[in-house]
Amino acid sequence: MNIATGSARAVKWMDTVYRINVGRYQSGGIVGVFESTVPSRGGPPVHVHHNEDEVIHVIEGEYEFWLDGQVMAVRPGASIFLPRGVPHTFRVASAGPGRNLTILTPGGLEEFFVEAAARELRIPDQIAEVAELAGRYGIEFRGPAKWVD
């Protein structure tokens, strides 16, 4: 098991760059840690993690999170806990890109982004393929977020 890695793996999927700092291979599956650079207005569909708890720490940009019907703003320097089994999503609300650090316990889900990027899958065009891949990682997509602007 590696205690510290010298370089992060980086992949780009759906206009978001994921830099995987610590994955299941480095942590023995205990934790996954990655940094994301997300375009303005970008973010995932509403989804549920069936296997992992997630903490997202906002580094740059203004984020809005939707957690089981509740919307909250999360600003740089703040974190949010997203428990497994609870539907959630986020979007970058600022004019420029956002940057965040994600910590997953246990690790492993970060490999979803690696596979999706390698296969060049796109939402919504290839949602069936994305959903199949996501299902292998315990992710269930629930559709687009209904943001109130």
User: What is the C-alpha to C-alpha distance for residues 54 and 34, in angstroms, rounded to an integer?
Assistant: 11
pLDDT attached to residue 15: 97
The candidate with the shortest Cα–Cα distance to 119, out of 108, 130, 109, is 130
Amino acid identity at 17 = V
The residues, ordered by sequence, that sit 6+ positions from 14 with a Cβ below 8 Å of its Cβ are 42, 116, 122, 123
pLDDT attached to residue 124: 93
Average pLDDT over residues 122-149: 93
Give pLDDT tens digits for 33-76: 999 999 999 999 999 999 999 999 999 999 999 999 899 999 99
The candidate with the shortest Cα–Cα distance to 57, out of 21, 24, 9, is 21
Q: Residue 25 is inside which H or E element, if any?
A: helix 24-27
Query: For the whole model, what pTM was predicted?
Result: 0.93
User: What is the C-alpha to C-alpha distance for residues 103 and 94, in angstroms, rounded to an integer?
Assistant: 22
The residues, ordered by sequence, that sit 6+ positions from 71 with a Cβ below 8 Å of its Cβ are 64, 65, 147, 148
Average pLDDT over residues 115-139: 97
Categorise residue 137: left if φ over 0, alpha if ψ from -120 to 50, beta otherwise: alpha
User: What is the C-alpha to C-alpha distance for residues 138 and 73, in angstroms, rounded to an integer?
Assistant: 27
